[in-house]
Chains A and B, each alone.
Chain A
Amino acid sequence: MQNFWEYLTKIPVGLATVFKTLFEKPVTIQYPEEKKPMSPRFRGRHQLKRYEDGLERCIGCALCAAACPADAIYVEAAENTNEERYSPGERYAKVYEINMLRCIFCGYCEDACPTNAIVLEPIEFPTGYTRESLIYTKSMLLEPPPPGVPGTPQQTPPGKYDRAILPFPPIDESV
Chain B
Amino acid sequence: MLTQTPTPLNEDALKVRVEDVQLDITFEQLKRLVSPRALTGETMLMNMGPQHPSTHGVLRLLLELDGETIVNCIPDIGYLHTGIEKTAEGKTYLKAIPLTDRTDYLAPMSNNMAFCGAVEKLVGIEVPLRAQYLRVILLELTRMNSHLVWLGTHALDLGAMSVFLYCMREREMILDIYEAVSGARMMSSYIRPGGLWRDVPNVFFDLVQRVLDVFPKRLIEYEKLLTKNPMWKDRTVGIGKISAQDAIAWGMTGPCLRATGVKYDVRKAYPYSSYDHFDFDIPTGTNGDVFDRYKCRMEEFNQSLKIIRQALKRLPPGPVMTSDRKVAPPPKHEIAYSMESLIHHFKLWTEGFKAPEGEVYFAVESGKGEYGVLLSGDGTSKPRRVHFRAPSFHNLQPINEMARGQLLADLVAIIGSIDIVLGDVDR
A interface residue numbers (CB < 8 A to B): 3, 6-7, 10-11, 13-14, 17-18, 21, 27, 38-43, 63, 66-67, 69-70, 104-108, 111-112, 114, 116, 120, 165-171, 173-175
Known A6-B230, A14-B229: A39·B179 in contact at CB below 8 Å: yes
CB < 8 Å neighbour of B184 from A7, A43, A114, A173 = A43
Known A41-B183, A171-B198: A114·B228 in contact at CB below 8 Å: no
1/0 contact trace for B346-358 toward A, CB 8 Å? 1001100000000
Give B170-194 interface residues, CB cut-off 8 Å to A.
172, 176, 179-184, 187, 189
Taking a contact as CB atoms under 8 Å apart, the answer to whether A104 and B187 are in contact is: yes
1/0 contact trace for B217-258 toward A, CB 8 Å? 000010011101111000000000000000000000000000
CB < 8 Å neighbour of B230 from A11, A70, A104, A171 = A11
CB < 8 Å neighbour of A14 from B183, B199, B201, B224 = B224
Taking a contact as CB atoms under 8 Å apart, the answer to whether A41 and B331 are in contact is: no
Known A17-B225, A27-B169: A108·B95 in contact at CB below 8 Å: yes
Q: Interface stretch among B259-267, B333-341, B392-400, B404-412? A: B333-341
How far does the alpha carbon of A89 sit from the alpha carbon of B329 in the complex, in Å? 23
How far does the alpha carbon of A167 sit from the alpha carbon of B338 in the complex, in Å? 10
How far does the alpha carbon of A21 sit from the alpha carbon of B170 in the complex, in Å? 14
Give B186-220 interface residues, CB cut-off 8 Å to A.
187, 189, 197-199, 201-203
Task: Tell me whether B286 is interfacial, beta carbon within 8 Å.
Answer: no
Known A13-B224, A114-B345, A171-B333: A69·B99 in contact at CB below 8 Å: yes
CB < 8 Å neighbour of A63 from B169, B176, B189, B346 = B346
How far does the alpha carbon of A100 sit from the alpha carbon of B329 in the complex, in Å? 26
How far does the alpha carbon of A166 sit from the alpha carbon of B335 in the complex, in Å? 9
Taking a contact as CB atoms under 8 Å apart, the answer to whether A167 and B349 are in contact is: no
Known A27-B172, A41-B179: A107·B189 in contact at CB below 8 Å: yes
How far does the alpha carbon of A27 sit from the alpha carbon of B198 in the complex, in Å? 30
Q: Which residues on the A side are within 8 Å of B172 (C-beta)?
A: 27
1/0 contact trace for B369-392 toward A, CB 8 Å? 000000000000000000000000
5 extra interface residue pairs, beta carbon distance < 8 Å, beyond A21-B166, A43-B184: A17-B162, A111-B329, A165-B342, A166-B336, A174-B202
CB < 8 Å neighbour of A168 from B180, B189, B333 = B333
Known A27-B172, A120-B183: A41·B349 in contact at CB below 8 Å: no
Taking a contact as CB atoms under 8 Å apart, the answer to whether B183 and A114 are in contact is: no
Q: Which residues on the A side are within 8 Å of B75 (C-beta)?
A: none
Q: Which residues on the A side are within 8 Å of B230 (C-beta)?
A: 3, 6-7, 10-11
22 pairs across A/B with beta carbons < 8 Å? A7-B230, A7-B231, A11-B229, A17-B162, A17-B225, A27-B169, A27-B172, A39-B183, A42-B184, A43-B182, A106-B98, A108-B94, A111-B329, A111-B332, A114-B345, A114-B346, A165-B342, A166-B336, A170-B332, A171-B198, A173-B199, A175-B202
Task: Tell me whether B91 is interfacial, beta carbon within 8 Å.
Answer: yes
The CB with the most chain B CB atoms within 10 A, among A11, A106, A116, A166, is that of A106
Majority-rule SS of B interface residues: helix
Q: Which residues on the A side are within 8 Å of B329 (C-beta)?
A: 111
How far does the alpha carbon of A43 sit from the alpha carbon of B182 in the complex, in Å? 8
Taking a contact as CB atoms under 8 Å apart, the answer to whether A63 and B336 are in contact is: no
Nearest-Cβ distance from residue A168 to partner chain B, whole angstroms: 6
CB < 8 Å neighbour of A42 from B91, B183, B336 = B183
CB < 8 Å neighbour of B336 from A11, A69, A70, A165 = A165
How far does the alpha carbon of A6 sit from the alpha carbon of B228 in the complex, in Å? 9
- Closest A residue, CB atoms, query B329: A111
Known A18-B162, A63-B346, A106-B98: A173·B198 in contact at CB below 8 Å: yes
How far does the alpha carbon of A127 sit from the alpha carbon of B24 in the complex, in Å? 37
Q: Which residues on the B side are within 8 Å of A42 (C-beta)?
A: 179, 183-184
How far does the alpha carbon of A66 sit from the alpha carbon of B94 in the complex, in Å? 12
Q: Which residues on the B side are within 8 Å of A173 (C-beta)?
A: 198-199, 201
Q: Which residues on the A side are within 8 Å of B335 (C-beta)?
A: 114, 165
How far does the alpha carbon of A168 sit from the alpha carbon of B337 in the complex, in Å? 10
How far does the alpha carbon of A66 sit from the alpha carbon of B179 in the complex, in Å? 26
- Closest B residue, CB atoms, query A64: B349
The CB with the most chain B CB atoms within 10 A, among A43, A116, A165, A170, is that of A43
How far does the alpha carbon of A17 sit from the alpha carbon of B91 in the complex, in Å? 50
How far does the alpha carbon of A21 sit from the alpha carbon of B96 in the complex, in Å? 43
Known A173-B199, A174-B202: A69·B333 in contact at CB below 8 Å: no
Q: Which residues on the A side are within 8 Å of B187 (C-beta)?
A: 104-106
Known A11-B231, A63-B349: A43·B336 in contact at CB below 8 Å: no
